[in-house]
Amino acid sequence: MKAVPIGLGVALPKKCLQNADLPHELNTSDEWIIQRTGIRQRYLAEGEETTASLATEAARKALADARVSPQDVDLIIVGTVTGDYTFPSTASMVQKNLGVTRGVAFDVSAACSGFVFALDIADFYIRQQRANTALVIGAETFSRILDWTDRTTSILFGDGAGALLLRAQDETNRGVDFCRIYSDGRFSEYLMTTGGISTTGNAGFVVMSGREVFRFAIEKFCEALNELLAANDMKINDVDLLVPHQANIRIIHKLIEISGIDEKKVVINVDKYANTSAASIPLALNDAREAFFSGGNTVLLSMGAGFTWGSALIRL
């Protein structure tokens, strides 16, 4: 049994903030941000827009894309670290919003690797025949855990959501072929929040040792890509579409340089959305949806707080 992607949907908040419109007190510039990160703008949730509302919109679009009824869904996994409530899970909120009353829904906490972690788990459930129709969602509202006086973090992130609908199919070569997820808690302090429910009693703000995260991201992207290629008897030229987590254009350029992949095969959209954490990979997949659904080997690469990292190979 294999997990085959049959629908994809995304959602963005209405408000789009250009670099030039960031608060003056941050003492930053459009030029610095573009040169050092590639980011030009980001979408920010306002008012009633939340992680669950964005996730629900993305899920509805994925279902409509595949012409599948919400009643068919029996697994919902949301990768997020910015859920609406401490509990219930954001996945439970999505389940309620969609009117789904069966199966199971839960969140996965792996920061920017959340989507790949969720995909790996959904793939496992489908292979084990424990689920038939799964929504794998990455959704975040990082703007709500940013310190808007800290120019080293606040300029980097944006909000959004993306959902991939998977269906179990027998006797097919298509679908999720390979997934690996990893973490190494020794590096947890390099990228974290200043608080949490059991420590400060509030969510805290994002703090990051940018240079260490930068170095680690390149190292783990390359390691994960090499492992995936070797395990599937592939060369870099066999990859038709590469979708790395979108944190910094310089990290992606380094990955292109080291791996030798044709850069036309690599999705880059960090300029439009900034770093949307778990939403970044499905947003990027959607920007390349024609190439993704038209067939070939798509590789996903993630890296995030924890540290966490992972890879996936999807053949369509």
**Active-site residue numbers?**
112, 245, 275
Read off the amino acid at residue 279: A
Which residues 6+ apart lie within 8 Å of 157 measured at CB?
42, 142, 143, 146, 206, 274, 275, 276, 277
Tokens of 144: 């709500």
Tokens of 157: 């992130």
Which residues 6+ apart lie within 8 Å of 37 measured at CB?
155, 156, 248, 249, 250, 270, 274
Min dist CB 32 to ligand UT7, Å, is 4
Min dist CB 34 to ligand UT7, Å, is 11
Read off the amino acid at residue 119: L
CB nearer to ligand UT7: pick between 174 and 250: 250
Min dist CB 38 to ligand UT7, Å, is 9
What b/e sequence results for 82-113 when a residue is b if at least 16 CB atoms lie within 10 Å of its CB, and e otherwise? bbbeeebbbbbbbbebbebeebebbbbebbbb
Radius of gyration of the chain (CA): 18
With H, G, I as helix, E, B as strand and everything else as coil, classify residue 151.
coil
d(CA 53, CA 145): 17
Q: Which residues bind ligand UT7 (CB under 6 A)?
A: 28, 32, 36-37, 112, 151-152, 155, 210-211, 213-214, 217, 247-248, 251, 275, 303-304
CB nearer to ligand UT7: pick between 36 and 180: 36
CB nearer to ligand UT7: pick between 19 and 132: 19
Min dist CB 270 to ligand UT7, Å, is 10
CB nearer to ligand UT7: pick between 109 and 152: 152
By beta-carbon distance, which residue lies closest to ligand UT7?
210
Min dist CB 212 to ligand UT7, Å, is 8
CB nearer to ligand UT7: pick between 98 and 303: 303
- E strands in 73-204: 75-79, 104-108, 133-141, 159-169, 175-183, 191-193
